[in-house]
């Protein structure tokens, strides 16, 4: 599933290609892609609008339009958002925005789990009100992180993946942050000391900054979402491989229905 770095890279790739462009037409090729809204609503409201910005909040892509409207795109597991020339079609195309005579902004989704909706821009903050602070922003303070952790009985890995705690952080980068902080994924957050939490807070920011840079550089085309592309993974997906630091074999456990990877040598606390 695309996480903060992949979604941010997609925004950075798409933005310069469509910013300032007028949406000439909209085609909804699969009605379920815009649920619970009706395809006609998206077509009617988006057509003729000018794209003012493409930004991110958590794992959401927000396309701000003229007239106070915003298209919200959530890629979910397999969604892509990319700019293509006319004729570059895919059987997985779900929503197509024609933004020039030969240029289209296309939402494609093989598993058909992603969603594209349109809202009044003023309503977007309320729609995303449950999201926690952006980890690469000034809102992600150590004080707030310590307060959240002290009240939580969640295991460290599940805490980090809870979008109410940290917006955009997912399976890959939560595992990597815990590794760099030397914290076992199963430890309860409220049991971690202040210094350990400060180390984790710094690790989250550092990991995500590096990942955003590497994914943005690695993408040759917008929307090519490949998790952790060109990013050095110390634990994620490396079950049975030797740890780069201590040589112990990386282990995998199940947490919250997802695989968690960790090093039993480096992550003992």
Confidence of residue 217 (pLDDT cuts 50, 70, 90): confident
- Residue with the bigger pLDDT between 225 and 218: it is 218
- Catalytic: 3? yes
Q: Is 133 an annotated catalytic residue?
A: no
Mean pLDDT of all residues in 156-184: 96
In a domain, 118, yes or no: yes
Output the pLDDT for position 231: 75
The answer to whether the predicted template modeling score (pTM) of the entire model surpasses 0.75 is yes
Q: What is the mean pLDDT of residues 169-173?
A: 94
pLDDT at 185 over 70: yes
CA 8 – CA 58 distance, rounded (Å): 9
Same domain for 150 and 123, yes or no, is: no
In a domain, 134, yes or no: no
Residue 205 lies in a domain: yes
Confidence tier at 229 by pLDDT (50, 70, 90)? low
- 147: CATH: 1.10.8.50
Q: Does residue 184 share a domain with residue 121?
A: no
150 and 109 in a common domain? no
> Which band of pLDDT confidence, cut at 50, 70 and 90, is reported for residue 11?
very high
Rounded mean pLDDT, 162-179 = 96
Q: Which of 49, 56, 59, 165 is catalytic?
A: 59
Instruction: Identify which has the larger pLDDT, 214 or 96.
Output: 96
Inform me whether the pLDDT recorded for 228 exceeds 50: no
Q: How many domains does the chain have?
A: 2
Is residue 240 classed exposed, middle or buried when 0-12, 13-18 and 19+ CB atoms within 10 A define those classes?
Answer: exposed
| H or E segment to which residue 146 belongs | helix 142-150
**Exactly one of 3, 6, 82, 227 is catalytic; which is it?**
3
pLDDT, one tens digit per residue, over 41-95 is 999 999 999 999 999 999 999 999 999 999 999 999 889 999 999 888 899 999 9
Q: Residue 51 — φ and ψ, nearest 5°? A: -80, 120
Angstrom distance (rounded) from CA 84 to CA 65: 20
Above pLDDT 70, what percent of the chain? 96
- Out of 2, 39, 133, 135, which one is annotated catalytic? 2
Same domain, 12 and 51: yes
């Amino acid at each position: 599933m695309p996480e903060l770095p992949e979604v941010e890279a997609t925004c950075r790739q798409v933005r310069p290609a469509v910013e300032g462009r007028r949406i000439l037409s909209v085609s909804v090729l699969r009605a379920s892609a815009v649920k619970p809204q009706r395809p006609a609503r998206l077509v009617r409201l988006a057509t003729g609008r000018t794209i003012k910005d493409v930004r991110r909040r958590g794992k959401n892509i927000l396309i701000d339009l003229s007239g106070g409207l915003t298209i919200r795109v959530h890629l979910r597991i397999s969604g892509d958002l990319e700019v293509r020339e006319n004729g570059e079609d895919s059987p997985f195309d779900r929503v197509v925005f024609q933004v020039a005579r030969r240029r289209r902004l296309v939402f494609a989704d093989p598993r058909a789990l992603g969603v594209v909706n349109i809202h009044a821009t003023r309503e977007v903050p309320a729609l995303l009100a449950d999201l926690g602070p952006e980890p690469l922003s000034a809102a992600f303070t150590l004080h707030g992180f310590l307060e959240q952790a002290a009240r939580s009985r969640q295991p460290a890995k599940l805490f980090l993946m809870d979008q109410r705690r940290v917006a955009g952080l997912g399976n890959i980068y939560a595992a990597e942050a815990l590794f760099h902080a030397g914290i076992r994924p199963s430890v309860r957050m409220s049991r971690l000391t202040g210094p350990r939490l400060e180390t984790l807070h710094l690790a989250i920011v550092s990991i995500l900054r590096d990942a955003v840079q590497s994914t943005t550089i690695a993408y040759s085309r917008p929307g090519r979402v490949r998790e952790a592309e060109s990013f050095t993974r110390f634990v994620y997906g490396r079950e049975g491989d030797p740890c780069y630091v201590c040589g112990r074999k990386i282990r995998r456990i199940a947490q919250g229905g997802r695989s968690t990877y960790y090093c039993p040598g480096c992550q003992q606390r």
